[in-house]
Amino acid sequence: MEKNLYKNLFEKLDLGKRVVIATVLDNNPCNSNSFQNKILLTQEDLIKYDKASSFYETIYEKAKYALETGNLQFVKVSEEKTYLIEPYFPEPNLIVLGGGHIAKPLVEFGAKAGFSVTVIDDRPSFANKPRFPEAENVICESFEKCFDLINLNESSFVVTVTRGHRHDMDCLRKILKYDTAYIGMIGSKRRVKGVMEQLLSEGYSQEKLNRVNAPIGLEIGAVTPEEIAFSIIAQVIQYRRLFDRTTGTIKKSKTNWPEFDRDVLTKLSEEDNLSKAVITIVSTKGSVPRKEGAKLLITSNGELVGSIGGGCSEGAVINTARYMLRNNITYQIERIDMTGDVAENEGMVCGGIMDVVIECFNF
């Protein structure tokens, strides 16, 4: 792996791709080629990868599972060698087309549910930041032209709640050109039926139109704008957690959205000659401040980026990482115990255990 692997990671995530980084952890001393122990794989890469490779055979099922579930995999294959397989998912984007009375609570609920929200309307009095303070982006543009200003991809959840039949069709014509995670359109059964019949007559396939959730939302008997927004965001979350893109069906098991420390990954992507140690949580038990995948980075010039939860326990692991950098140690597994007397002595409210991997990159 080259040092620009993390730049490549960001490029894939910006395209809406789910990615795994598989790391071979062995006991060789740190050297300038440490980054070559890593490989970045998308779902498409797994399909195309050389199945004759022993590396492929070892990580294929684990990498596939990590992509499907979002769960980090830590696999010890021998005393000398361990595989760390980390899933990275793009930030889920909620695109709300229309800034009316339903959009207002929908944007609020979407932001609180962990989505990066963009709201679009062609009326300045509806498309403004004071009206939608929780939105990441507020765009005032026509529904015909706004698609040039947004990046629709596999991690986009698109909700059409415009004020009129004509705008709904304008939006759907554009949305159906993209491979998005979710499409929903508000409207009565009669109104939805009319839109679908019109688009069918224009040559859109029934298969494409079947992707549209319309009337939108889960059926909960919603009446008020807030209740309707609840029903919509509940369906969006259902698609985020349970929808299987391969089969086009709702799964029984949920997808975890892994921890994503952008600042740490950004620092790793920088072209510099600093030695670095990266601490990654690989397993947890009980009540802990951060979950699997959370990271803390220490550089040779003393900079700290990210966190695995803070406190004295984190401080002890930082000291271990600095010792490893000074002594050219490749990697080490450490256990952080926050149970019983340890937690009480450090004033922690947590009562769990975290296993972390410390990786060194010396240049």
In tens, the pLDDT along 112-149 reads 999 999 999 999 999 999 999 999 999 999 999 999 99
pLDDT at 107 (0 to 100): 98
Considering the domain architecture, whether residues 227 and 279 belong to the same structural domain is answered as: no
Please give the C-alpha separations between residue 307 and each of 189, 220, 319, in angstroms, as whole numbers: 49, 40, 14
Q: Is the predicted pLDDT of residue 109 greater than 70, yes or no?
A: yes
Closest CA to 218 of 228, 208, 204, 205: 228
Task: Answer with the one of 220, 250, 280 that is the final residue of a domain.
Answer: 250
| Domain enclosing residue 238, as ranges | 93-250
**Any idea of the CA torsion for 150, 103, 213, 153, to the nearest 10 degrees?**
20
Q: Give tens-digit pLDDT for 328-351.
A: 888 899 999 887 655 555 555 567
Question: Is-contact 111 137, C-beta < 8 A?
Answer: no
State the Cα–Cα distance between residues 43 and 20, nearest whole angstrom. Answer: 9
The secondary structure element, H or E, covering residue 212 is strand 212-213
Please give the C-alpha separations between residue 288 and each of 78, 221, 292, 310, in angstroms, as whole numbers: 28, 38, 10, 11
State the Cα–Cα distance between residues 86 and 76, nearest whole angstrom. Answer: 14
Considering the domain architecture, whether residues 198 and 276 belong to the same structural domain is answered as: no
**pLDDT-derived band of residue 363, with 50, 70 and 90 as boundaries?**
low
Task: Determine phi and psi for 83, rounding to 5 degrees.
Answer: -110, 130
- The CB-side HSE value for 114 (13 A sphere, CA atoms) comes to 15
Positive or negative, the CA dihedral 28, 29, 33, 38 is: positive
Higher pLDDT, 79 or 318: 318
The DSSP secondary structure of 59-79, one letter per residue, reads: HHHHHHHHHHH---EEEE-SS
Q: Give tens-digit pLDDT for 82-102.
A: 889 999 999 899 999 999 999
| Burial (CB count within 10 angstroms: exposed 0-12, middle 13-18, buried 19+), residue 79 | exposed
- Beta-carbon contacts of 29 under 8 Å, excluding residues fewer than 6 positions away, are 328, 329, 330
Token look-up 């995948």 returns: 293
Closest CA to 256 of 95, 18, 75: 18
Task: Answer with the one of 189, 216, 250 that is the final residue of a domain.
Answer: 250
Q: What's the CATH number where 132 sits?
A: 3.40.50.720
Considering the domain architecture, whether residues 10 and 70 belong to the same structural domain is answered as: yes
Q: Give tens-digit pLDDT for 218-247.
A: 999 999 999 999 999 999 999 999 887 777
Range scoring the smallest mean pLDDT among 156-160, 184-188, 267-271, 302-306: 267-271
**pLDDT-derived band of residue 32, with 50, 70 and 90 as boundaries?**
very low
Considering the domain architecture, whether residues 123 and 234 belong to the same structural domain is answered as: yes
Question: Is-contact 185 173, C-beta < 8 A?
Answer: no
Instruction: Summarize the confidence of residues 295-299 as an average pLDDT.
Output: 95
Considering the domain architecture, whether residues 75 and 187 belong to the same structural domain is answered as: no
pLDDT at 31 (0 to 100): 43
Question: Is-contact 117 229, C-beta < 8 A?
Answer: no
Considering the domain architecture, whether residues 237 and 205 belong to the same structural domain is answered as: yes
pLDDT at 37 (0 to 100): 82
Closest CA to 216 of 314, 120, 103: 103
Per DSSP (E only), the strands in 135-193 are 137-140, 156-160, 182-185
- Beta-carbon contacts of 310 under 8 Å, excluding residues fewer than 6 positions away, are 289
State the Cα–Cα distance between residues 235 and 253, nearest whole angstrom. Answer: 16
Considering the domain architecture, whether residues 317 and 356 belong to the same structural domain is answered as: yes
State the Cα–Cα distance between residues 189 and 214, nearest whole angstrom. Answer: 8
Task: Answer with the one of 250, 275, 296 that is the final residue of a domain.
Answer: 250
pLDDT at 255 (0 to 100): 83
Higher pLDDT, 80 or 330: 330
- Token pair, residue 26, equals 């062995």
Into how many domains does the chain fold? 2
pLDDT at 33 (0 to 100): 43
Considering the domain architecture, whether residues 83 and 115 belong to the same structural domain is answered as: no
- Token pair, residue 356, equals 């972390």
Considering the domain architecture, whether residues 135 and 245 belong to the same structural domain is answered as: yes
Task: Determine phi and psi for 107, rounding to 5 degrees.
Answer: -65, -45
Considering the domain architecture, whether residues 140 and 222 belong to the same structural domain is answered as: yes
Considering the domain architecture, whether residues 206 and 330 belong to the same structural domain is answered as: no
Q: Give tens-digit pLDDT for 170-202.
A: 999 999 999 999 999 998 898 899 889 999 999
Considering the domain architecture, whether residues 183 and 236 belong to the same structural domain is answered as: yes
Positive or negative, the CA dihedral 186, 189, 190, 194 is: positive
